[in-house]
Every structure is written in structure tokens, then in C-alpha cells.
Amino acid sequence: MAKFFGVVIDETRLKAIKGTPLEEKVEPIFGGALKRLVLEVPDDLGQKVIDQFTKARFDARGFIEETPAAFKRLVFKKIVEMKSLGPEVMEAALAELPSIKDDIAKEDKELPVPDIDISDVLELQKNPVQKPA
């Protein structure tokens, strides 16, 4: 049974794959609140991923979960470079794993702040009481 690896897609990542066949493979999750791409990973390759990270695991659906954010960024980078969702993407990411070991070690101490625009939320916080329309 194959395993799966989900990569959450934000607006910045969506722009990176816009106009490619990958854009058609984006699927909504959580009622459309988020989007993701899903890689199908052979069992042996999935186990190699799990073996690299102490917290990583397979969930009940067969998805590889609890991998470091740095690894997820690397997988997305490989998806864009290779324009693929095949197992070769995961193989390439695992081959480059030594280059992000420092980033992974930093995550064990503190997760990095996500790079997202929250200016609209900050603007709403200036006037927390909203008037009815």
C-alpha cells in the first residue's frame, strides 16, 4: 500500500506553480480553507522518510506526518524544480537532506514564524468592535 505526503499550498506557493500541470492537481482540504498537493510515495521510500526524523509517523490514512517544516519546504522546492509529484521528488529531497540539517536542528528548539501577510488582521485589531452592515 502506497504512502502519501501532503504539501500545504499558500498563495505564494500557488503562484510558483501557476500555469503548470501541477496547478490542476491542487486539492482543497478543511472545507476549502486550505489547499495541498499530494505525493504518492512507495512504502520503502516512505519508511526512509520516517526513519530520518524522530517525530515523523504514518497516520491512519497512510500520510507521512510530523516532518520538519524545513523538509516540507525542501519537498515543495523539488516539486517546483521537477514539475512532478512522483516518487523522484521525494528521492531528490532525501538526497539533499544534509543541506538542511541545521534548519531542522533549529526547529527542535523553536518553530520558525510563518512568512505570511497578516496586515488585514492587524488592521482589524485596531478597531475590534465592528459595526453591523
Distance CA 102, CA 64 (A): 22
Expressed as residue numbers, the domain containing 71 is 3-126
Contact 15, 22 (CB under 8 A): no
For residue 104, pLDDT over 70 is answered with yes
Closest CA to 6 of 62, 80, 82: 62
Domain annotation covers residue 102: yes
Residue 62 — very low, low, confident or very high, per pLDDT cuts 50/70/90?
A: very high
Domain annotation covers residue 55: yes
Closest CA to 37 of 68, 69, 75: 75
Domain annotation covers residue 132: no
Provide the residue type at 31 as one letter. G
Output the pTM of the full model. Answer: 0.78
* pLDDT (mean) for 64-85: 94
Domain annotation covers residue 100: yes
Domain tally, the chain: 1
pLDDT at 131: 66
pLDDT at 127: 76
